[in-house]
Structure 1
């Protein structure tokens, strides 16, 4: 691999790590934000919701935009947007403004993730698999150590530091990217000649608006009712509006020529659909623990941000160590055995959460974190391999996009689950209930993985 290729990977890697880093660092900032802005737990949860909803929408949209207007332009623009958001977010006078800048940050970092892999595939022609695996380390590594970094910098400099820490990454990535990412070739597409109406149809603006407003209305109705302890007329209206908009969204997507979420593809390939359903459930489990444990440690057990970050490091390290081992195992045995072991580990971790009490040693949560970390390492490789097995080659690009959509839906549902279970205040009783729900979900994954393994053995025989 040439020197230029290595510098290109570093340039892109420093940019794409910002999305998972910022999505994970905030897990240890919930208590600080709750106290500073005087919010209940449901209210402060929107710092998580907003980022994942914006990322889920921005990444496929920016992927399409990069095909039309140039990947270098989109990547560099994303760095500028992320810089502005990271600079202004700590200066937010209200929590509402913080959410606005958080959404802008999600859009900016998503612009880089959406085109980062494509830049490497196009401009690095030798040892592409190695290059892509290096970028995967940037992505998974940033997510894994995010809580640790967040815990350390919040302990010393407060919650604004989780935004300021992005600035050196952005500046270095911008300087390197400006120099190392080749200029976009003159566009041969007709994008510049499209009318606004045709452009809106191409990226399915109506579908995006229906999906976003419907999801936000549904979340507002559910979370407001849980936080207040009773169902008001406003809650009912919000729920009904959300359900109606999502129903209209489904009808629109079935008719759209370039749908935001191609629902017909799900119906056409049921095996691929089940992989996506399982992947969504896996992310519900993982991110419920990812965001639930730091809140439990800080709000229930009164552990500091610094100590919480140290404890959460066991989750990330186990995931990072397991991923390369899982790759070799899955190459030999296929994804089914690894996914079954992963489901069993998640069940063990969920059951362990239920057995904890208010006098249990704080360090005992590391057993659950280790179990979920190992399972996450297995899932990172196993689910992707299962997707490739179940998806026809001619739609692998669409399948990969749907796969990422399932990931984000899982993270959004995990945040919703925590918000509904906890309501206005994070409590020990709510944490135990969360553990019970996660156990049920994990057992369902064990059942699905076992069925897949048995069906695979029957096919092999």
Structure 2
């Protein structure tokens, strides 16, 4: 598959250098990954300040975060498919504009309701950027450099997530809460200029094809995903009647979605794609792996503060080690993928993650803080190896006219893993501590909860390894059968 931009160079050359046009295009894609990631975390640190500013309880203020995440989850596949139909560059430019204008509206919001609505609009722009950024890699860099590009995008995502809390705290202290949203204005303007100048121009499509968009499937999928995400986030891991009702709505919506997709002429999602064992395995693993990573964010702070007795400042410092390692290892992970091949690196990444999860279940008990840091230093690079390799493996094989929707599905599966991990792994941790209030749990109970949670996490990675091996066997068998 040759890149659409003739200035990029030949895709078949061994690890070809990037020319200036491709570098600037990749800079735009990096910003398109950084901005949504930054706003995923930067608003969290402002919730206490916003609760005071709007005289609102936490249950209402938390919708500033939820509105953003729910919109991304509900729409990311649909906007990816829309990009395939109307042009990925064109839609990405629109997404950058939507995100930037919504950031301005957030910064000027006079009421809590208007801020929540503006955050939902910002989530729409973020969904477009996240869905199309990975899809545009194939049109921006040579095929032999895809792994490096995926690793860079992984680094930018980690930098955004890491930078959010610290940058948000500084901005709120110096300029007030509105500045955490207004900071996106110069970034958005720069990103728009880079994308408009350097991203490859969309190839023309015939008019009838441009108009085919599965509205019914889009609505059903959005409602299904929103119901599932709400069920996983409301109640903070404590399932009640509302959570169960939302899961039932999600299950019903999923069934209706499958029926609709099997009947419409131009489905939002070609269900036949899931018959490909390699593709289905990649999505399944892309749910399991982020579930494990979310466990470090859910369980880590409680273990460090309750079991090890660290101060809030030290907890924050230790918790930043993982994202920092992730940011530093992303580009290197991508280069490893280009050198050794995506399939082999997927297995290597999963193996390293299994060791890291087992280390988190054992080393902190034996060596305290040092054991925790060593375990995180093993787990996190494994995650970056897996992400870079898995994204590369999927996107190299997808047909050009399906890149947007498949990229959206990759981002969605990761997001579902993070949402599910926060709920499920948090519930396992609470159950293992055998207490209704984790903040008051005995240090020994918290340590036990840590051990059991990451033993389960290691089991999930073993399941992911089994899925990878099974898909390889199926692909090999189908190849032999074809011969």
What TM-score comes out, normalization by structure 1 length? 0.74
Tell me the distance in 2 between the aligned counterparts of 1:162 and 1:377.
Answer: 28
Q: Compared with structure 1, are the counterparts of its residues 47 and 296 closer, same or farther at alpha carbon in structure 2 (3 Å cutoff)?
A: farther
Deviations 1:175-194 (A, max 9, x none): 333444466566533256x4
Q: Secondary structure at the match of 1:17?
A: helix
Q: 1:151 aligns to what?
A: 165
Contact 1:85/1:101 (8 A) holds in 2: yes
Verify: 1:174 aligned to 2:192, yes or no.
yes
**1:139 pairs with one of 153, 167, 173:** 153
Q: Secondary structure at the match of 2:312?
A: coil
Structure 1 residues 333 and 114: CA distance shift in structure 2, 3 A: closer
2:356 is aligned to: 345
Alpha-carbon spacing, 1:215–1:404, altered in 2? closer, same or farther (3 Å): closer
C-alpha RMSD over aligned residues: 4.5
1:427 aligned to 2:427?
Answer: no
- Matching residue of 1:80: 97
Give the equivalent residue in structure 2 for 1:65: 82
Q: What's the CA shift for 1:284?
A: 1.0
Task: Tell me, yes or no, if structure 1 residue 89 matches structure 2 residue 116.
Answer: no
Partner secondary structure for residue 315 of structure 1? helix
Residue 347 of structure 1: how far off its partner (Å)? 3.1
Q: Residues 384-403 of structure 1, C-alpha deviation per residue, up to 9 Å, x if partnerless?
A: 466589x7989985765543
Alignment of 1:277-296 (within 5 A): 277-290=284-297, 293=300
Change (3 A) 1:246 1:64: closer
1:315 equivalent in alignment to 2:322: yes
Question: Does residue 117 of structure 2 align to residue 109 of structure 1?
Answer: no
Q: Which residue of 2 aligns with 1:410?
A: 417
Could you tell me whether the CA contact under 8 Å between 1:297 and 1:308 is conserved in 2? Answer: yes
Count of aligned positions: 438
Write the distance in 1 (CA, Å) between the matches of 2:303 and 2:192.
38
Q: Describe the shift of the 1:264–1:428 C-alpha distance in structure 2 as closer, same or farther (beyond 3 A).
A: farther
- 1:195-218 deviation per Cα after TM superposition (whole angstroms, max 9, x unaligned): xxxx4xx2x332332233334345
1-side partners of 2:46 and 2:451: how far apart? 22
| Partner deviation per Cα, 1:282-313 (whole Å, 9 max, x = no partner) | 01111332465468779996625xx6664344
Residue 245 of structure 1 corresponds to which residue in structure 2?
253
| 8 Å Cα contact 1:343-1:449 kept in structure 2 | no
Partner Cα distance (2:109, 2:310) in 1: 29
Separation in 1, partners of 2:324, 2:68: 24
1:440 aligns with 2:450: no
Name the CA distance, whole Å, in 2 between partners of 1:277 and 1:99. 32
Change (3 A) 1:217 1:108: closer
Decide whether the 8 Å contact of 1:83 with 1:166 is kept in 2: yes
Deviates more, 1:369-378 or 1:330-339: 330-339
Structure 1 stretch displaced more, 56-65 or 322-331: 322-331
Structure 1 SS opposite 2:207: coil
Rounded to whole Å, the distance in 2 between the matches of 1:54 and 1:161 is 22
Q: Any unmatched runs of 5+ in structure 2?
A: 1-17, 478-483
Correspondence 1:164-243 to 2 at 5 A = 164-181=182-199, 187-190=205-208, 194=211, 199=212, 202=213, 204-220=214-230, 231=240, 237-243=245-251
Q: 1:70 to 1:380 in 2, by over 3 A?
A: closer
* Equivalent-residue separation in structure 1 for 2:338 and 2:344 (angstroms): 10
- C-alpha distance in structure 2 between counterparts of 1:185 and 1:113, whole Å: 21
Check whether the contact 1:149–1:309 (CA below 8 A) recurs between aligned residues: no
Asked if 2 retains the 8 angstrom alpha-carbon contact of 1:89 and 1:98, the reply is: yes
Decide which moves more: 402-411 or 77-86: 402-411
Q: Structure 1, residues 318-355: CA drift from partner, whole Å, max 9, x if none?
A: 234444254377439923344222222133235567x4
* Distance change >3 Å, CA 435–CA 6, structure 1 → 2: same
Unaligned runs of 5+ in 1: none
Contact 2:76 2:412 in 1 (8 A): no
Contact 1:49-1:412 within 8 A present in 2 as well: no
CA distance in 2, matches of 1:211, 1:6: 36
Counterpart in the other structure of 1:9: 26
Q: 1: CA distance between counterparts of 2:239 and 2:129?
A: 42
